[in-house]
Amino acid sequence: MLHACLVLWATPVSAQPSANVQSANVQSPEIGVDRRVTFRLNAPKAQEVALTGEFLKSKTPLVKDANGVWTVTVGPIEPEIYHYNFTVDGVRIVDPANPNLKTGSTASTLASVLEVRGDAPSFYDGQNVPHGEIRTHWYHSKSLNSMRRLTVYTPPRYDRELKTRYPVVYLFHGANADETAWYRLGRVNFILDNLLAAGKIKPFIVVMPFGYGVVPGEPQSENTAKFGKDLVEDVIPYIEANYRAFTDRDRRAIAGLSMGGGQALTIGLNNLDLFSHIAGFSSGLGNAANFPKMYANLVGQPETSNRKIRMLWVGCGTDDGAFAASKAFSEFLAKHNIKHTFRESGGAHTWTVWRRYIYEISPLLFQGKGYGSYVSRKDPGTG
Amino acid sequence: MLHACLVLWATPVSAQPSANVQSANVQSPEIGVDRRVTFRLNAPKAQEVALTGEFLKSKTPLVKDANGVWTVTVGPIEPEIYHYNFTVDGVRIVDPANPNLKTGSTASTLASVLEVRGDAPSFYDGQNVPHGEIRTHWYHSKSLNSMRRLTVYTPPRYDRELKTRYPVVYLFHGANADETAWYRLGRVNFILDNLLAAGKIKPFIVVMPFGYGVVPGEPQSENTAKFGKDLVEDVIPYIEANYRAFTDRDRRAIAGLSMGGGQALTIGLNNLDLFSHIAGFSSGLGNAANFPKMYANLVGQPETSNRKIRMLWVGCGTDDGAFAASKAFSEFLAKHNIKHTFRESGGAHTWTVWRRYIYEISPLLFQGKGYGSYVSRKDPGTG
């Protein structure tokens, strides 16, 4: 049997196991060599235990044995990184035996992580290639009058090649997530390390800010404006003062997923003096009736806009609730003769899709080939 | 009412709340202005719900209301950062409504985090002072033949003062934790930022490796040796190749907590050619009968050892199960005339103690005043 939490560094033996930890009595998840996966929960007093997960079509019951351990085996499951939860007598919980968690800025998306490995390393796996770093910064936002956190990916050798400057991608997370999501769940660092090692991209810096500019009590409708103000007035100047970043629009990109996809498109397309490469993944775009007003400058002078935009990429999976909005946005752009790629893929509103999208668009960035030649395929590919 | 998850950056409004998330229905924990804290769990079908936490003497039951929401209010609770869990029909879980989690390398210590604020910022709070960074590296360990992760704290302005070199502290986590523990739970970055802003320390780099060198199936008894080999043969050379670190023993320190305290004392005191400042917090020291053999070189030539050691600091709380071992180790050192500080404090085997210890020893590092003048107090202090 393979070990469940296939972490990339050594999995520890418990040196000083706490007493009274029931969960330590079971192994969950346990991944078989056939990629069938067994989930277990030690819950003798529970009346009903079920499993939900991105690898399941519907909620699946666990069955209790004589020792009070609930079990279910599912699969085989395709190699991928998935999220799942147990429901115990109606309470949705994370798997108490699995240390690998999906966390965020709210508790609504707390989940356990199941990583199923294939025979060969995946494009998102950490491999024996030169690795970039993730840097965590705490900065004071003058525009929001608060301390905020952001994470930055620097490519391999950034600290050695002190005369090199780099393009920058500003990359945004989705709702209820935080500034760690793109590397902890999205594996953007490994994806870029692998693309670099394969010679498929040139190195760039990735800046991942925290996507909420509003605080509780403030309307969510103001979020993009407040977040955008922090981005333009605080984050970009901070990055350009602290990193060897190019400071021209041609080498500045903006991208995001879900809520962050909406932010990237709104902020990017309304600030073409700052950004030349713009991408939205499964974007939260709002009501299509507002597009003409929201993007008035963009569509009011399509020739100028097309000259400035070096890449405009709008992707969504057909199983995603956000698909119709992305399609409507693409049609809006087409109606106004704004050149762009509409990427219709398979997949739903999950990291499975977004990991592949960042893998797909990275070779297009800062190359001047951001649209036109791109062929849409049904399934997000990594080949 | 104050908000429960008093994060230091903007707490988001949920933009796209997931459907079918029961936990979103309740607020937990909710911290009152009187610092009484209410915990809630939406669990209509549960038969028994209880709360355990570092702020409680014993397991405390929650009471179900007519809507199936279980509640308990406790306190007032002293300002501090605590860990807690619910037990639902015998299953220990994290609070499904609280996004702030204590995670680790095993699931045995999964817990929710309660942060109670005082009227003034604490020594461990992020304040409006210059901030250092946390850098996450992935490196290939030749000695362990695996990819491993480590985190590094660089002080404010590290990237600006390109001609400055810095002393280095190698700082280790405890059992079941990982290389993120010292900044996520220990707040070492904010503690050092605040000490620097107050002029109480000179800047140094902190290196936090992953403390397990053994993998499942290998005996835990070999862990310190394997971890130490990785430290000496891989981590230290990696750091000194990638950071502007001093490379002499006088400006290299080694410290840790619990399992990591044992590692710091064992590796440090057996490698006095590499380390001059050595500290163990609530250390996992093993059987005192083995001390003469484990520390034969140290005590075999006490004058040489005392000349090399610029600080040797052994601290433990009197409510800690590890207290007797630390006391025995101090007596062993005293018997062999090895100069050291034995720091007997209040407190148990918790981060409350360890945050204060790193605050206490940091001003002693690289100052040549690591013992002798130090007065032991009962309570870990931050004044």
pLDDT tens-digit series, residues A129-170: 999 999 999 999 999 999 999 999 999 999 888 899 999 999
Q: How confident is the model at residue A24 (pLDDT cuts 50, 70, 90)?
A: very low
Contact across the interface for B137 and A133, Cβ inside 8 Å: yes
Can you give the pLDDT at residue B273?
A: 97
Q: Is B63 in a helix, a strand, or coil?
A: strand
**Integer Cα distance of A48 and B46 in angstroms:** 10
Can you give the pLDDT at residue A372?
A: 44
Contact across the interface for A17 and B176, Cβ inside 8 Å: yes
Taking CB atoms and an 8 Å cutoff, what residues of chain B touch A126? Answer: 138, 147
Q: How confident is the model at residue B382 (pLDDT cuts 50, 70, 90)?
A: low
Can you give the pLDDT at residue A217?
A: 84
CA-wise closest residue to A49 among A60, A37, A36:
A60
pLDDT at A13 over 90: no
Paired tokens of B68? 């199936």
β-bridge pairing A341-345 and B60-61: unpaired
Identify the residue with better confidence: B118 or A2. B118
Taking CB atoms and an 8 Å cutoff, what residues of chain A touch B285? Answer: none
Q: Please name the residues in contact with A5: beta carbons below 8 A apart, sequence gap of 6 or more.
A: A11, A98, A99, A100, A115
Element (H, E) at B258: none
CA angle in degrees (0–180, nearest 5) for B149-B154-B160: 130
Q: Would you tell me which residues 227-266 of chain B have a C-beta closer than 8 angstroms to some C-beta of chain A?
A: 242-243, 258-259
CA angle in degrees (0–180, nearest 5) for B266-B270-B274: 110
Can you give the pLDDT at residue B29?
A: 97
pLDDT at A267 over 90: yes
Map tokens 């020291």 to a residue: B285
Report the first-to-last Cα separation within chain A, whole angstroms. 29
Paired tokens of A203? 């190195």
Map tokens 């809520």 to a residue: A259
Can you give the pLDDT at residue A19?
A: 31
CA A115 to chain CA mean position, Å: 16
Q: Does A144 touch chain B (CB under 8 A)?
A: yes
HSE-CB at A196 with a 13 A cutoff on CA atoms is 22
CA angle in degrees (0–180, nearest 5) for B262-B170-A152: 130
Stretch among A321-335, A362-376, B290-304 having the lowest mean pLDDT: A362-376
Work out the average pLDDT over B342-363.
Answer: 95
Task: Report the residue of A98, A138, A157, A214 to disrupt the B interface, i.e. the one with the largest count of B CBs within 10 Å.
Answer: A138
HSE-CB at B147 with a 13 A cutoff on CA atoms is 14
Q: How confident is the model at residue B161 (pLDDT cuts 50, 70, 90)?
A: confident
Can you give the pLDDT at residue B371?
A: 45
The partner residue sitting opposite B91, judged by closest CB among A96, A98, A148, is A96
Cite the beta strand spans of B89-184 per DSSP E. Answer: 91-93, 101-102, 111-116, 133-141, 146-154, 168-172
Q: What does the pLDDT look like over A88-121, one tens digit per residue?
A: 998 999 999 999 999 999 999 899 999 999 999 9
Instruction: Write down the mean pLDDT value for chain B.
Output: 89
**Integer Cα distance of A327 and B94 in angstroms:** 40
Q: What percent of chain B has pLDDT over 70?
A: 90
pLDDT at A14 over 80: no
Instruction: Write down the mean pLDDT value for chain A.
Output: 89
The partner residue sitting opposite B148, judged by closest CB among A9, A14, A133, is A9
CB neighbour class for A197 (10 Å; exposed up to 12, middle 13-18, buried from 19): middle
CA-wise closest residue to B12 among A178, A338, A139:
A178
ipTM of the complex: 0.89
Can you give the pLDDT at residue B381?
A: 56
Q: What does the pLDDT look like over B13-61, one tens digit per residue?
A: 232 333 333 444 799 999 999 999 999 999 999 999 999 999 999 999 9
pLDDT at A319 over 80: yes
CB atoms within 10 A of CB B140: 16
Stretch among A38-47, A211-220, A262-271, B245-254 having the lowest mean pLDDT: A211-220
Taking CB atoms and an 8 Å cutoff, what residues of chain B touch A155? Answer: none
CA A113 to chain CA mean position, Å: 14
Identify the residue with better confidence: A162 or B132. B132
Q: What does the pLDDT look like over B199-223, one tens digit per residue?
A: 999 999 999 999 999 987 889 899 9
pTM of the prediction? 0.91
CA angle in degrees (0–180, nearest 5) for B316-B304-B233: 70
Contact across the interface for B213 and A10, Cβ inside 8 Å: yes
Q: Does B50 touch chain A (CB under 8 A)?
A: no
CA-wise closest residue to B160 among B248, B247, B251, B244:
B244
Q: What does the pLDDT look like over A34-71, one tens digit per residue?
A: 999 999 999 999 999 999 999 999 999 999 999 999 99
CA-wise closest residue to A364 among A275, A244, A279, A249:
A279
pLDDT at B7 over 90: no
Identify the residue with better confidence: B314 or B372. B314
pLDDT at A383 over 70: no
Q: Please name the residues in contact with B217: beta carbons below 8 A apart, sequence gap of 6 or more.
A: none
Q: Are B16 and B24 in contact (CB under 8 A)?
A: no
Stretch among A17-31, A153-167, A339-353, B15-29 having the lowest mean pLDDT: B15-29
Q: Are B285 and B325 in contact (CB under 8 A)?
A: yes
Q: How confident is the model at residue B3 (pLDDT cuts 50, 70, 90)?
A: very low
Can you give the pLDDT at residue B192?
A: 98
> How distant is the Cα of A375 from the closest Cα of chain B, in angstroms?
31
CA-wise closest residue to B312 among B273, B356, B351, B272:
B272
Contact across the interface for B93 and A94, Cβ inside 8 Å: yes
Q: Are A314 and A330 in contact (CB under 8 A)?
A: yes
Work out the average pLDDT over A301-327.
Answer: 95
Paired tokens of B327? 């006391």
Can you give the pLDDT at residue A216?
A: 79
pLDDT at B354 over 80: yes
**Integer Cα distance of B304 and A81 in angstroms:** 54
Taking CB atoms and an 8 Å cutoff, what residues of chain A touch B24? Answer: 107-108
pLDDT at A369 over 60: no
Q: Are A5 and A37 in contact (CB under 8 A)?
A: no
Paired tokens of B37? 């804290």
Q: What percent of chain B has pLDDT over 90?
A: 85
> How distant is the Cα of B245 from the closest Cα of chain A, in angstroms?
13
Instruction: Work out whether the CA dihedral B348, B352, B358, B360 comes out positive or negative.
Output: negative
CA-wise closest residue to A357 among A254, A282, A284:
A282
β-bridge pairing B168-172 and B133-141: unpaired
Q: What does the pLDDT look like over B73-102, one tens digit per residue?
A: 999 999 999 999 999 998 999 999 999 999
Please list the helix, strand and coil fractions of chain A in percent, rounded to the nearest 5, in that order: 25, 25, 50
Work out the average pLDDT over A185-195.
Answer: 98
* Cα→Cα distances A257→A189, A261, A281, A294, A343, Å: 16, 4, 4, 19, 14
Q: How confident is the model at residue A367 (pLDDT cuts 50, 70, 90)?
A: confident
Work out the average pLDDT over B282-292.
Answer: 95
CA angle in degrees (0–180, nearest 5) for A21-A22-A26: 120
Can you give the pLDDT at residue B1?
A: 31
CA A1 to chain CA mean position, Å: 30
Q: How confident is the model at residue A21 (pLDDT cuts 50, 70, 90)?
A: very low
For residue B227, give the chain A residue with the closest CA: A10
HSE-CB at B146 with a 13 A cutoff on CA atoms is 18
Q: Are A93 and A82 in contact (CB under 8 A)?
A: no
Q: How confident is the model at residue B162 (pLDDT cuts 50, 70, 90)?
A: confident
Q: Would you tell me which residues 113-132 of chain B have a C-beta closer than 8 angstroms to some C-beta of chain A?
A: 126, 128, 131
**Integer Cα distance of A43 and A88 in angstroms:** 9
Can you give the pLDDT at residue A382?
A: 58
Work out the average pLDDT over B100-124.
Answer: 94
Q: Is A183 in a helix, a strand, or coil?
A: helix
Phi and psi at residue B247, to the nearest 5°: -120, 10
Element (H, E) at A134: strand A133-141
Q: In the sheet where A30-31 sits, what is the strand order?
A: A30-31, A37-42, A69-74, A63-64
HSE-CB at A333 with a 13 A cutoff on CA atoms is 20
Identify the residue with better confidence: A183 or B23. A183
CB atoms within 10 A of CB A290: 10
CB atoms within 10 A of CB B288: 15
Between chain A and chain B, the number of residue pairs with CB atoms below 8 A apart is 261
Can you give the pLDDT at residue B160?
A: 87
Paired tokens of A261? 């996809």
CB atoms within 10 A of CB A47: 13
Work out the average pLDDT over A214-224.
Answer: 89
Identify the residue with better confidence: B368 or B329. B329
Work out the average pLDDT over B150-160.
Answer: 95
